Each structure stands twice: as C-alpha cells, then as structure tokens.
C-alpha cells in the first residue's frame, strides 16, 4: 500500500469522503431548481435545524473565509471592532476579508494560552479605550476547536459569552472544525453553540469530508436580515447550489459527521502517542481534536521533506502542525513516525 505523504499536511489534502460523495452523485441529475431552490439544499437546512434542535437560518457559501467574513459583516458596522485571538484564522489567514466586507472595521487581537480567548483579555480590550477616537468593540469571535487543536469546554464558552453580553458584544463562532470539537467534548451541537450564548457561526464540513461549501448558521435570526443579499453581492450564491449541499446531506442524514470526526480525533491521539516515544520530539499543546503540534530537533523538518513528507511549520516559530482527517490511516502514522525516528 502506498503511503500518503500529504496525510498530515492539512485536513484539506484529503478527498471527498465516501458518505458525501454518494449524495453528490445522487444529486447529479437535471430537473431541480437552481440557486438553492432544490431538494438537497432544503434537506441540508432541515438537517441543520434537527442537529441544533431548533429553527436556525442557514446560508451556504463556498468556503470558510466567506462564511466568516460575511457572517461577521452582519454583526457590525464599519466603525465597529471585533475581539479575537491573535492566532485566529479571521485575523491571520483571511487577507483582511472580515475588515473588507464590513467596509473597514478592525480586528482587535488578544493573547491567550493554547489559542484561546480569555475574559481578562476581553475586559482589557473593551475597557482600554472607550472614546470616540477608537473603534467600538461590537463582537467577539471564538474558534472551536482552536487553531492549535484545543477546545473550549461548555463552561468556558459560557463564561466568555456572559462576559461578551456584559459588554453588549455579539458572539461569533468560527467552526471550521466544529465537528471535531463536538466529538471531542462529547456534548450536543446545541449545548456548545446557542445554548452557550453563540449568536452566529461559520460551520465547516470541508475539512471533515465534503468538497466545497460551508454554512453560516444564525441562531439569532434577526441578525440574518438581508443576509441573502450579502451572499449574492459577494459572489457567494452558488447557481448549482445542490453540489454544495448534497455532501452535507450525506454527512448529516445519519451520524456520519460525528463518526468521521471521532475517527480523525482518534488518529490524532494515536499519532501523539507514537510521537511521544520518539527521542527529541516535544509535544506542544493538548491534543483535543484532530491536530498534533510538535517541535522537532533542528534539521528534522528538512530531512522529513527530503523523504517526501509535507506538513506545515508555524510561521516564524519552526513548530510543526500535523493534521488528521477522515482519510488518515494507521499505516501513514507508522510510516511517518518511522521516518521521523530515522531523521
Ligand atoms: C480552514 C479554516 C477556515 C476556512 O478557511 P478557507 O480556506 O477559507 O475555507 C476558517 N477558520 C479556521 C479556524 C480554519 O482552520
């Protein structure tokens, strides 16, 4: 069996998982409506209402940057600011998308261990300046699970959202890897979102197993007013929408989404265990989802690259990020760790 040298580079290097592929194939017919007026999109919206145990307003867009930028733009005006962790995707990896789509609002970055926001930092940023000359904080954005593969417990989330409410801030959740967080926490999707005070979320299944298409889910449905116009204007209304939403049906019709997330998380645990036995390897953060972060001795990254392995080194730090996905196999883990020992 050939080894997948991209196995740990990103959960995006995996293909479309079989459960999503089957429904995309099923959707590949004529005789359905366009621009979301099709049975798959309707079913995907229904499945999300069921998943979250309430009525929600759902909009499907092409990717996570669009989901974050547009959902955030629904929360504030150009002179507002959003509080987020300094490692957050919206701050470091979206090319100013959230700022662009609000016409100039600012992200106020906070520090915090393991890429997690803290109430102390929210308090600090909100009270630091309250005058007319500084943008007015209007929302916080929480990533679940975080960019460092850690999770917020439901209690931690509640504490953050209560702090946000006390400052009259909306709560946005970046859930690009939400399924992995839910699988890891062992709580219901409702408990870790609206029941914990989240107003709107970007829900991603691309990294979990669909090919393209992320959902903006509004729990505070007043915030969704005219959101369809925002999507269309931003070029995010898919004409053949069913090909974005059929995969969601495949993953949400049964428990496929959570089983896949559990499996990816379990593989990350195996990878972590295997790495912990390799001399010279330091493991960096708790592995609470499908990511393992490690520091390898100098020269190792180059030696692994020459053996054909691809994975991310964190900008400027030299630490390595290893992701597991639905497609990760034990053979890939053992081959990787074996090569690492040799390096
Ligand atoms: C991958 C990811 C996104 C979405 O990125 P796109 O490349 O725009 O789809 C958003 N937030 C986080 C935390 C991510 O890891």
Pick the residue whose CA is nearest to atom 6 on ligand 1: 64
183 pLDDT band (50/70/90 cuts)? very high
Helix, strand, or coil (residue 175): strand
Pick the residue whose CA is nearest to atom 2 on ligand 1: 176
Q: Determine how β-strand 106-110 pairs with β-strand 80-85.
A: parallel
Separation of CA 174 and ligand 1 centre (Å) = 8
Mean pLDDT of the chain: 96
Q: How many CB atoms lie within 10 A of CB 306?
A: 9
**Statement: residue 1 has pLDDT above 80:** no
pLDDT, average across residues 2-9 = 93
**Statement: residue 317 has pLDDT above 70:** no
The residues, any chain, with a CB within 8 Å of residue 152's CB and separated by 6 or more, are 116, 142, 144, 146, 160, 181, 192
Separation of CA 63 and ligand 1 centre (Å) = 7
| Ligand 1 atom at minimal distance to the Cα of residue 147 | 13
Please tell me if the CB atom of residue 147 comes closer than 6 angstroms to any atom of ligand 1. yes
Separation of CA 31 and ligand 1 centre (Å) = 33
**Statement: residue 264 has pLDDT above 60:** yes
Spell out the domains of the chain, with CATH numbers in brackets.
18-252 (3.40.640.10), 256-342 (3.90.1150.10)
Helix, strand, or coil (residue 36): coil
What is the predicted pLDDT for the residue at 314? Answer: 75
Separation of CA 123 and ligand 1 centre (Å) = 27
20-61 tens-digit pLDDT: 999 999 999 988 999 999 999 999 999 999 999 999 999 999
**Statement: residue 247 has pLDDT above 70:** yes
Q: How many CB atoms lie within 10 A of CB 238?
A: 20
Percent of the chain with pLDDT over 70: 99
Which of these ranges, 28-32, 95-99, 241-245, has the smallest mean pLDDT? 28-32
> Six-digit token pair at 74?
């629904």
Separation of CA 303 and ligand 1 centre (Å) = 29
Q: How many CB atoms lie within 10 A of CB 305?
A: 14
316 pLDDT band (50/70/90 cuts)? low
pLDDT, average across residues 126-151 = 95
| Ligand 1 atom at minimal distance to the Cα of residue 63 | 9
Pick the residue whose CA is nearest to atom 3 on ligand 1: 64
Which of 6-10, 224-228, 302-306 has the highest average model confidence (pLDDT)? Answer: 224-228
Packing angle between helix 256-276 and helix 242-252, nearest 10 degrees?
70
pLDDT, average across residues 61-77 = 97
What is the predicted pLDDT for the residue at 315? Answer: 59
Q: Sign of the C-alpha dihedral, residues 291, 320, 16, 211?
A: positive
Question: Half-sphere exposure of residue 214, counting CA atoms within 13 Å on the CB side?
Answer: 26
Please tell me if the CB atom of residue 11 comes closer than 6 angstroms to any atom of ligand 1. no
Q: What is the CA radius of gyration of the chain?
A: 20
Written as one string, the DSSP assignment of 61-107 is ESSHHHHHHHHHHTT--TTEEEEEETT-HHHHSSTTHHHHHTTS-EE
Pick the residue whose CA is nearest to atom 15 on ligand 1: 176
Pick the residue whose CA is nearest to atom 4 on ligand 1: 64
Separation of CA 111 and ligand 1 centre (Å) = 20
pLDDT, average across residues 115-133 = 95
């Amino acid at each position: 069996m050939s080894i997948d040298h991209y196995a740990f580079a990103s959960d995006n290097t995996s293909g479309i998982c079989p459960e999503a592929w089957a429904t995309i194939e099923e959707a590949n017919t004529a005789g359905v409506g366009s621009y979301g007026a099709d049975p798959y999109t309707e079913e995907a919206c229904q499945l999300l209402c069921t998943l979250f145990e309430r009525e929600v307003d759902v909009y499907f867009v092409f990717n996570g940057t669009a989901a974050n930028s547009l959902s955030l733009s629904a929360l504030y005006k150009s002179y507002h600011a959003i509080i987020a962790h300094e490692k957050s995707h919206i701050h470091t990896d979206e090319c100013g998308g959230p700022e662009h789509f609000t016409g100039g609002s600012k992200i106020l970055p906070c520090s915090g261990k393991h890429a997690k926001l803290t109430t102390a930092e929210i308090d600090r940023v909100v009270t630091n300046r309250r005058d007319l000359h500084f943008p007015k904080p209007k929302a916080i954005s929480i990533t679940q699970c975080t960019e460092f593969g850690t999770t917020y417990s439901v209690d931690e989330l509640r504490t953050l959202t209560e702090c946000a409410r006390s400052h009259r801030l909306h709560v946005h959740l970046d859930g690009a890897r939400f399924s992995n967080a839910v699988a890891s926490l062992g709580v219901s999707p409702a408990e870790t979102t609206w029941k914990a005070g989240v107003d709107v979320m970007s829900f991603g299944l691309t990294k979990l197993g669909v090919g393209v298409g992320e959902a903006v889910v509004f729990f505070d449905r007043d915030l969704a007013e005219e959101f369809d116009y925002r999507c269309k204007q931003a070029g995010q209304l898919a004409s053949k929408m069913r090909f974005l939403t059929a995969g969601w049906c495949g993953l949400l019709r049964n428990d496929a989404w959570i089983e896949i997330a559990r499996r990816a998380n379990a593989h990350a645990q195996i990878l972590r265990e295997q790495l912990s036995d390799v001399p010279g390897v330091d493991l960096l953060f708790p592995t609470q989802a499908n990511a393992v972060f490690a520091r390898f001795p100098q020269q190792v990254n180059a030696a692994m690259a020459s053996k054909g392995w691809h994975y991310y080194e964190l900008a400027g730090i030299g630490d390595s990020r290893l992701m597991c996905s639905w497609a990760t196999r034990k053979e890939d883990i053992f081959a990787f760790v074996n090569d690492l020992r040799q390096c």
